[in-house]
Amino acid sequence: MSIFTEFPEMSRTDLRDLKKGVDEAFRSFTRANGEAIENFFFPLLKFLVWFEKLLISTPWPIMILVLCALVWAGSRSWGLVVGTVLVLLLIGYLGMWEDTMFTIALISVATMICIVIGIPLGIVMSKSDRTQAVITPVLDIMQTIPSFVYLIPILMLLGIGKVPGLIAVCIYAVPPVVRLTNLGIRLVDRDVLEAADAFGASPRQKLWTVQIPLALPNIFAGVNQTIMMALAMVVVAALIGVHGLGQQVLKAVNNQYLALGMMNGLAIVAIAIVFDRVSQKYGQRLQKHTEVIHG
Amino acid sequence: MDDHSIEIRNLYKIFGAHGKKYIEAVENGMSKDELNAKHGHVLALKDINIHIPQAKIQVIMGLSGSGKSTLIRHINRLIVPTVGEVIYQGEDVCKMSESDLREFRRHKTAMVFQKFSLLPHRTVIKNTLFGLELQGIAKKECEERARHWLVRVGLEGYADRYPNELSGGMQQRVGLARALTNDADILLMDEAFSALDPLIRNDMQAILLELQAELHKTVVFITHDLDEALRLGDRIAILRDGAVIQQGTGQEIVLKPADAYITDFVKEVNRGRVILVDTIMKTGANGSASVSIPSGSRLENAAKLLTDSGEATANVVDDKGVSIGTISMKATIDAMVTPASH
């Protein structure tokens, strides 16, 4: 009765062949298409590099002014603007200015990509239950699979560099914006949709005049989550060669530099808080008109 | 002039996955409960035939669950019938292509909803011009036309507010302005005033009647309130369990209720406000009384006139002032009091 004590495993040689087969197949796929894929992502690389250079070559006082203007535009809160100035000054004073600019560039580009991919995907998902049933488990996998696991094929395909790092960040960060776009559109009041139908709205008109505007607060909550998750990935991205605060944290771990690790880690936290508060305040302002209830 | 009447013919609606399969059974007399118990399908509308006259207010009245809101949604095909036809200007709305249907909804119909269904993220003016915007009309013209109707429904100065800042009555005025701005021949009103409190409802009814006197649209008005039906309706159809059990003018329904159910309904009605002097006047009598009342007046007004003047009879005169009959105090009061048989 060995079946109860020993699991009926696949034979060792078969298992080895299976793994080898998969690896070989992917390697040959890489050999055949690696260059094409790299070329495909080349414009993205150029854009990221251009953006990094822009942030770094801009004199720091102007950079602080620009960031403050963005914070004000998003949040309309002087407190937040003052906080941002203090945080940036401290970061610069502690010698982390350049790394911070690298990280902000990465997060900004990653968020843009996530929005460009995620919102349309969420819209498609909201249109049919079947699409939702297919996409939801994929999103679940993207969010739960240990990020090192998908680093392997990305590394095999694209090697070490900014683009693979960016892709890894996007894989982890895109699900919330997809989910919340889908949810937001599905939550739009059916009565309002019926009214749009009754007045002869085409599906496209309904999407742009009713569904997206009413889903916007939810979509924005998704964008906020996406930004937070992208920031959480900067250290992992540093593993495959992305510059920035993450790389310093990695260095600190490898060499047991407590102070370096803490400083860069806290800089990431500070940026995260600023991004979060600004995008939350912006999201709140988006739904302000719906909250004025007649007394 | 184009004909703006609507003809609903042999319309059935069975909710459920295979509604068509059970049409025959229903035609052969299967009841709503039986259909639900045996096949899990819901019979919402059964053999509806209504001629909705043009430029009049057709009220469809029924209690909740009678299928009245389902019925009105067939006129602009928000709900597709299981079988049957809705004919407007020679065309069956139920057979239109998607794009024809869209054009029909954009240009021929406009709808007012029980729960207002305004777009919460748009200001009052942007809500009002919604229909025109969907038609692709230039922004400036949209705004001009929308402003005109906002003024007409008494919302001058509220153009830049958001719906949530307004009271229910005002929100429904926006709903009405939105529908009127569409400039459609058919106005569909689904329990449009039911969610409003009684005083506001009265106001809105008055606004509707005043506008209708001038616009002459084909109005289909859904309500569960008989008083509202009698006040607004040129014609009334009463719906029960998905079938029309009586249709006619308000007077016809009050004076000759088709069955015990309607009798029960009309018992509480203020008959003096429904019945016209023409219905009970004595014709052939010479018009010798010293007071006159115009033809088409309601008994309430006749009673008032007779008591005020102290006379026992009054002449009923047509619009040229010629006497066409007489009406007595006794007959008036007799007709105003609910008969014992009711």
List CB contacts of B240: < 8 A, sequence separation 6 or more: B62, B63, B66, B261
Q: Which residues pair with B246 in a beta bridge?
A: B238
Q: For residues B149 and B155, give the distance between their C-alpha atoms in angstroms, rounded to a whole number.
A: 9
> What ranges do the domains of chain B cover?
54-80+96-271, 273-336
Closest CA to B25 of B10, B16, B38: B38
Quick: pLDDT tens for B53-100: 999 999 999 988 899 999 999 999 999 999 999 999 999 999 999 999
Residue A215's closest chain B neighbor by CA?
Answer: B121
Tell me the β-bridge partners of B57. B219
Would the CB atoms of B105 and A199 count as touching at under 8 Å? yes
- Are residues B121 and A213, on separate chains, in Cβ contact within 8 Å? yes
- Which residues of chain B make contact with A210, given a CB cutoff of 8 A? 119
The tens place of each residue's pLDDT in chain B, 342 residues long, gives 578 899 999 999 999 988 888 998 888 888 888 888 888 899 999 999 999 999 999 999 998 889 999 999 999 999 999 999 999 999 999 999 999 999 999 999 999 999 999 999 999 999 999 999 999 999 999 999 999 999 999 999 999 999 999 999 999 999 999 999 998 999 999 999 999 999 999 999 999 999 999 999 999 999 999 999 999 999 999 999 999 999 999 999 998 899 998 988 888 888 888 888 888 888 876 667 788 888 888 888 888 888 888 888 888 888 888 888 888 888 888 888 876 555
Residue A147 has pLDDT above 90, yes or no: no
A161 burial type by CB count under 10 A (0-12 exposed, 13-18 middle, 19+ buried): middle
* B164/A291 CB distance under 8 A: yes
Residue B122: list chain A partners with CB under 8 A: 213
* DSSP three-state, residue B28: coil
With residue B78 as reference, give the H or E element that holds it: none
Confidence of residue A102 (pLDDT cuts 50, 70, 90): very high
ipTM entry: 0.87
Query: Biggest alpha carbon distance in chain B?
Result: 69
Q: State the CB neighbour count (10 A cutoff) for residue A29.
A: 14
* CB proximity B230 to A under 8 Å: no
Q: How confident is the model at residue A141 (pLDDT cuts 50, 70, 90)?
A: very high
A294: closest CA of chain B, how far (Å): 5
pLDDT score of A292: 58
Domain A12-288 in this protein, CATH class: mainly alpha
Q: Which residues of B touch A206 (CB under 8 A)?
A: none
pLDDT of residue B341: 59
Q: Does B102 contact A210 at a Cβ distance shorter than 8 Å?
A: no
Measured CA angle at B57 (ends B205, B109), to 5 deg: 100
Give the pLDDT confidence score for residue B272 in this predicted structure: 86
Number of other residues whose CB lies within 10 A of the CB of residue B85: 16
Please name which of B215, B210, B208, B243 lies closest in space to residue B229, comparing C-alpha atoms. B208
The CA distance from B141 to B65, in Å, is 41
Instruction: Check residue A241 and give its pLDDT.
Output: 86
Residues 6+ apart with CB under 8 A from B103: A200
> Letter for the amino acid at A145?
I
CA distance linking residue A224 with residue A185, whole number of Å: 17
CB-based contact, B182 to chain A, within 8 Å: yes
Distance of alpha carbon A77 from alpha carbon A71, whole angstroms: 8
Whether A208 has its CB under 8 Å from any CB of chain B: the answer is no
Place of tokens 């289909």: B220
Domain boundaries B54-80+96-271, corresponding CATH code: 3.40.50.300
Q: Does A203 touch chain B (CB under 8 A)?
A: no
Determine, for residues A289 and B105 on separate chains, whether the beta-carbon distance falls below 8 Å: no
For A63, A85, A279, A288, B89, the CA distances from A69, given in Å and listed in that order, are: 10, 11, 14, 22, 60
For chain B, say whether A199 makes contact (Cβ under 8 Å).
Answer: yes
Instruction: Report yes or no: A98 and A56 within 8 Å, Cβ to Cβ.
Output: yes
The residue in chain A having the minimum alpha-carbon distance to the alpha carbon of residue B182 is A199
CB-based contact, B95 to chain A, within 8 Å: no
Exposed, middle or buried: residue B214 (CB in 10 Å: 0-12, 13-18, 19+)? exposed
Residues in B touching A201 (Cβ below 8 Å): 102, 134
Is A63's pLDDT higher than 90?
yes
Q: What is the pLDDT of residue A295?
A: 47
User: Is pLDDT above 50 for A229?
Assistant: yes
For B273-336, the fitting CATH number among 3.40.50.300, 1.10.3720.10, 3.40.640.10, 3.10.580.10 is 3.10.580.10
What is the pLDDT, as a whole number, of residue B15?
93
Q: Where are the domains of chain A?
A: 12-288
